[in-house]
Amino acid sequence: MRNLLFRFGTPLLGIGCLVMICLIWAGQPWSAALLESHGAQEFKIVFLSIILEAFPFILLGVIFSALLQVFVTDEMIQRLTPKHHMVGILFGALLGLVFPLCECGMIPVVRRLIRKGMPAYIGIVYLLAGPIINPIVFTSTYAAFRNEPQMAYDRLMIAFAVSIIIGLLLHRFMKGSPLKGAAVDNHAHHHHVHESHAPVKKGRKLSATLSHASDEFFDMGKYLIFGALLTAVIQSFINRQAFESVADQPVLSYFFMMGLAFLLSICSTSDAFIAASFNGMFEHGPLLAFLVFGPMIDLKNMLMMLSAFRVKIVLSITILTFAFVLASVWLLEVLR
């Protein structure tokens, strides 16, 4: 179903845009009024802002992934990755301090690392923790909540704890590769992991890097565009007054803010400023849940995850992340 959606969705969207352009060119008044309406204007602003906000990070991610593909061998990845699973999980949770990528650009990098021999559970831990446990996001959160700096520290602490727990569960229960197209038998899996083992000539490394980067970019880009489209529709038609009706509900406010973070799909480098706009309306706990769950799992990111990982793994990670973020934030609020 999802493959059919992405196969036919883009041509249908293009046809719809072409029809609308023809109607405007023909001077149909209702079509011009539709595009100039408040909802359409807000939709265009939100859609373009998501694309423009995520584009540099997607580009950074695919370039970094291509550099890994061409210049970093499988042996280097396997040698640098800790052998003990607990040390490896800690390594994955803190890797964002060295490679501070936004969630928009991490999926191609993590997929490449797993294909080059990094244990999948370590790569997924980095995928969950990296968008929050990095200096750029900490600085933006601290700046957004300058009157409540504890929010920045709580965000790091909860993200670290949740990613560690999920990493332990994945190490214990995940069997085989979570990547799409991974072979089921040992011989094929060995071939898949070492598919890039052949050396690349120095004169061709630049062209090989650009080739891999372009392939990754177009593979990730279609999911980014579709996720941005859905997110812009949701943001354009949600009434802010609806937030106030659930802000005073102790339990519902957590679910609401986590669901909102999932739907809005805001980049982790700027979502703290969105959350800060709700400060005073929502309590510390729901805002913290918004700041932790959104960068780990959101609509745009989940669509891109589905392009790289098996559906079962993506659904399992989503459910576990939601449950542990909710439980951790609630426990933190109770203990205070």
Residues 42, 87: Cα–Cα separation, whole Å = 47
Per residue in 49-76, pLDDT (tens digit) is 767 766 776 677 778 777 877 787 777 8
For residues 111 and 133, give the distance between their C-alpha atoms in angstroms, rounded to a whole number.
Answer: 19
> Is 104 a residue whose pLDDT tops 90?
no
Those residues with Cβ within 8 angstroms of residue 310's Cβ, 6 or more apart along the chain or in another chain: 178, 179, 180
Above 80 in pLDDT, residue 134? Answer: yes
List pLDDT tens digits, range 274-310.
Answer: 788 788 888 999 999 999 999 999 988 898 899 889 9
Q: How many angstroms separate the CA atoms of 254 and 248, rounded?
A: 10
- Residue 203 pLDDT class (50, 70, 90 cuts): low
User: DSSP for 311-335?
Assistant: HHHHHHHHHHHHHHHHHHHHHHHHH
Q: What is the DSSP letter of 97?
A: G
Res. 38 pLDDT band, cuts 50 70 90: low
Give pLDDT, residue 320. 96
pLDDT at 186 over 50: no
Tokens of 172: 């214990």
User: Is the model's pLDDT at 105 over the cut of 80?
Assistant: no
Confidence check: pLDDT of 198 > 60: no
Share of the chain above pLDDT 90, in %: 31
Question: CA 168 to CA 159: how far, in whole Å?
Answer: 14
DSSP-derived secondary structure for 180-201: TT--SSHHHHHHHHTTT-S---
User: Across the strands, what pairs with 309?
Assistant: 179
Q: How do the domains of the chain map onto residue ranges?
A: 56-335
Q: pLDDT value at position 17?
A: 55
